[in-house]
Amino acid sequence: MDDMEDDTTIFSTLKSFKSLISCPDRSLLETEPAYGRSDLQKLYTKRVELEEAAERVRSHTSMLQLTQEKQQMELSHKRARIELEKEAHSSTRDLQREIDRNRELLLKIRRLEEREEKANQALNEQTENNKVLKRNLEELHKKANEKDRKLTEADQMISELNDETRRLNQKIQIQESKFSTQNLEIQALQEQLDVQRKKYQDVSQRYHNLQSSHSISTESELKMKELERRLALQEQDSVIVKNMKSEMARLPELEREIKRLREENTFLRETKENNSLLKEETEGLRRKLERVERVMEEKLKAELEKEKLEQELQAWENIGQAAGLNISIRSVEKARAELLPEIAQLRAKAQEEQKKRENQDSLVRRLQKRVLLLTKERDGMRAILESYDSELATSEYSPQLMLRVKEAEDMLQKVQAHNTEMETQLSKAQEEAGTFKLQVQMVTSELEALKEQQVSNTEKNVLATAEEVSSLRQKIEELETERQQLEEQNNILEMRLERHNLQGDYDPVKTKVIHLQMNPTSIAKQQRAEDVEQLRLECQLLRDRIRKIEAGGGVTTDDTTLIIPPSQEILDLRKQMESAELKNQRLKEVFQKKIQEFRTACYVLTGYQIDITMENQYRLTSVYAEHMEDSLLFKSTGPVGSGSMQLLETDFSRTLTGLVDLHLFHQKSIPVFLSAVTIELFSRQTVT
C-alpha cells in the first residue's frame, strides 16, 4: 500500500508538473510570441530535460510499478496456488458431494417419474373433473340466469309493494284524519246528547208531576163515586134492617113454639125407632117361621122315610126269618140303630122348632098389637099436629114446618152476621166518608185556589198556559224524536266503537302500545332483508362472471344458453364427422349408380329383370313378357349364399308347366329353364 501511495504521489506530482509545463508553454506561447528564439531554445532544452527527467521518473516509477506488480504477481500466484489447492480439495469434496447428489437426484428422478405418472393420471382425472365442472358450470350458469330472473321479478315485486305501501300509508293518513274528525263529531254529539238529556229529564219531571196530579184528581173522583154508591147501598141496608127488627120482635113466641115442637120431635123419633125395631123383629120372626115350616116339612119327610124304612125292615125281617140271614138282620138292625138317634135328634129339633114357632107366633101377636097401638098413637099425634097447624093458621104438615123453622133459624143467623158486618161497614164508611169529605174539601179548596189564581191572572194567562201546555207538548214530541235519533246514533257509535275495539283500536289519550324491540317479527324481517341482500350480491357476482365469460369469447343466445368456445379437439372431431358424412353420401351415390348399371346390364343381357320382393324371394320378369304381371318367383332355400333356389307358383308359372317339368324336375337346371322361357316368349312375340 505504501507503494501505491507512493505511486499516487508520484502520479500527482507528475500531473502537477505536466500542468506546470503546459501552462507556462501556453502562457509563454500566448503572451510572448514575439520574444526571440533563444529563449525558446532554452525553454525547449529545459523542456527536453524536464521531459527526460520526467521520462526517467516515469521509467523509474514504471520500474517500481513493475517490481511491485511482479511482487504482487508472485504473491498472487502463491495465493492462487494456495487457493487452487484449496479449490482442488474443495472440488474433490464437491465432486464427492455431487456424486452423492447424483445418486440422490437419480432416486428423486425415479420418484419424480412415478409422480409424473400419478400426476398424469391425476391430470386425466382432473380433465374429467374439468368436464364435469364445466357441465356444473353450465348448470350453475343456468341457475344464475334463473336467479337473475327471480331477482328481477323480486325487484319488480318490491317496487310494486313500495308503491302499495305508499298508497296504503296515504289511505291510513286519510282514515286517521277521518277518524279524528269523527271523534270530534262524536264528542260534539255527546255534549249535545247530555244537554238534550238534561232537557229531557226536566221535561219528563214536569210531565210526571202533571201526570201525578191528573191521577190524583181522577182517583179522588173515583173515590167520590164509590162513596156515593156505598151510601146508596147503606140506605138500602138500613131499610132492610128496619124490616128485620120488626121480625126480630116475633122471636120469643117462635122460640116457645120451637121448644114444644122439638119435644114432640124427639118423642116421634123415639117412636120411629121403636117402629123400626119392631119391623126388624117381625122380619126375623117371619124368617124363623119359614125355617120352622121347612123343618116341619123335612120332619114329615123324615117320618115318611122312617115309615118306609120300618116297612122295609119288617120285610127284611120277614125275609131274614124266612131265609135265616142273621147278618143282614144285624146290618139292618145297625142301620136301624143309627137311624134311631138321628130320628131322635130330628124329633128333638122338630119339637124345639115347634116351641120356637109357638113363641114367635105369640111374639107376632104381641107385635101386631103394639103396632096397632102405635099406629093409633101416631094418628092421634098427627091429629094434634094438624090441630096445632090449624091454630097457627097454616095448613101445612110438620116436615114443612120443620123446614120453615130451619130456614128461620138460618135466616136468623145470617141476619145477625149481616147485622154485625153492616155495623162494622157502617163505622168504616162513616170514617172514610169523614176522611173523604175532608179530602174533597181540600181538593175543592185547592181547585178554588187554582181557579182563583187562574182568575186572578188575566185571560191572556189562561191562553198562555194553554199555549204553554201546547208548546210544551210540542217540545216534548220534538225532544222525544231527537232522543230516539240520538239513541240510534248512540247505538251506531257504540257498535262502531265495539267493532274498533275488537279490531284492536285504542284511545291514544289513555293507552299506548308497546312491544319488545327484539321481537320475532323484527328479527325475521331483518333476516329476510339479509337474505335478499345476499341474493342480490350473488346475482351481481354471477352477472360479472357471465360478463367475463362473454368477454372471453362465448356467444349468448336467448340469455339462457352460454356457448363456451369449443376446444380444438371438438373442432377436429366435427370436421372428421363432416368428412365422414360426406364420404358416406358419396359412397351411397356411387353404390346406387353401380347397382343401377348392373341391374340394367343383367336385364339386357339375361333378359330378366330381377327384383327382390321379400327377404329370400326373387321375382323375375322377362323382356318379352306379354303382360306386365307375368313373373316368376324364386325363393332361396338353405343357408345364405349357397345358391339353391326353388320356384314358387304364380299364374304365369302355371302356363309353363311343361317347361317346368322338363327343365326343373328332370334336368334340375334353372338357367336352362329361364333361357327356355325366354325362347318361348320370344317365339310367341315374333309369331303373334
Q: Which of 11, 44, 397, 506 binds other proteins (CB under 8 A)?
A: 506
Q: Which of 37, 256, 460, 510 binds other proteins (CB under 8 A)?
A: 510
Q: Which of 73, 112, 161, 344 binds other proteins (CB under 8 A)?
A: 161
Distances in Å between the Cα of 425 and the Cα atoms of 83, 87, 156, 237, 429 are 175, 172, 103, 11, 6
**315 contacts 307 by C-beta, under 8 angstroms:** no
For the CB of residue 178, give the shortest distance to other proteins in the complex, in Å: 14
Residue 659: exposure state from Cβ atoms within 10 A (0-12, 13-18, ≥19) = middle
Return d(Cα 278, Cα 373) in angstroms, integer: 12
Q: Which of 256, 512, 627, 654 binds other proteins (CB under 8 A)?
A: 512
Dihedrals φ, ψ of 395, to 5°? -110, 50
Return d(Cα 306, Cα 312) in angstroms, integer: 10
User: Stretches 352-360, 368-376, 486-494, 522-530: which one binds other proteins (CB under 8 A)?
Assistant: 522-530
Of 402 and 535, the one with the shorter C-beta distance to other proteins is 535
Of 77 and 150, the one with the shorter C-beta distance to other proteins is 150
Return d(Cα 323, Cα 318) in angstroms, integer: 8
Locate the DSSP E strands across 126-196. none
By CB under 8 A, tell whether 168 contacts other proteins: yes
Per-residue burial over 135-147, b = 16 or more CB atoms within 10 Å of its CB, e = otherwise: eebeeebeebbeb
Neighbours of 539 (CB within 10 A): 19
Q: Which of 184, 384, 450, 523 binds other proteins (CB under 8 A)?
A: 523
Q: Which of 34, 249, 327, 502 binds other proteins (CB under 8 A)?
A: 502
Q: Which of 524, 573, 590, 679 binds other proteins (CB under 8 A)?
A: 524
By CB under 8 A, tell whether 179 contacts other proteins: no
Return d(Cα 672, Cα 652) in angstroms, integer: 17
Return d(Cα 504, Cα 418) in angstroms, integer: 79
By CB under 8 A, tell whether 671 contacts other proteins: no
Interface with other proteins: number of residues (CB under 8 A):
29
Of 508 and 565, the one with the shorter C-beta distance to other proteins is 508
By CB under 8 A, tell whether 525 contacts other proteins: yes
Of 393 and 518, the one with the shorter C-beta distance to other proteins is 518
Q: Which of 34, 513, 605, 628 binds other proteins (CB under 8 A)?
A: 513
Closest C-alpha to 634, from 594, 583, 671: 671
By CB under 8 A, tell whether 497 contacts other proteins: no
All three cell numbers of 132: 364435469
Return d(Cα 32, Cα 39) in angstroms, integer: 10
Per-residue contact flags (x/-) with other proteins for residues 451 to 490, judged by CB under 8 A: ----------------------------------------
For the CB of residue 164, give the shortest distance to other proteins in the complex, in Å: 9
For the CB of residue 149, give the shortest distance to other proteins in the complex, in Å: 18
By CB under 8 A, tell whether 522 contacts other proteins: yes
Which amino acid makes up residue 156?
Q
For the CB of residue 155, give the shortest distance to other proteins in the complex, in Å: 14
Return d(Cα 661, Cα 664) in angstroms, integer: 6
By CB under 8 A, the residues from 218 to 277 that bind other proteins are none
258: left (phi over 0), alpha (psi -120 to 50) or beta: alpha
By CB under 8 A, tell whether 521 contacts other proteins: yes
By CB under 8 A, tell whether 495 contacts other proteins: no
User: Stretches 86-94, 128-136, 268-276, 495-503: which one binds other proteins (CB under 8 A)?
Assistant: 495-503
* Residues that bind other proteins in the complex, under the rule CB under 8 A: 161, 165, 168, 499, 501-506, 508-525, 528
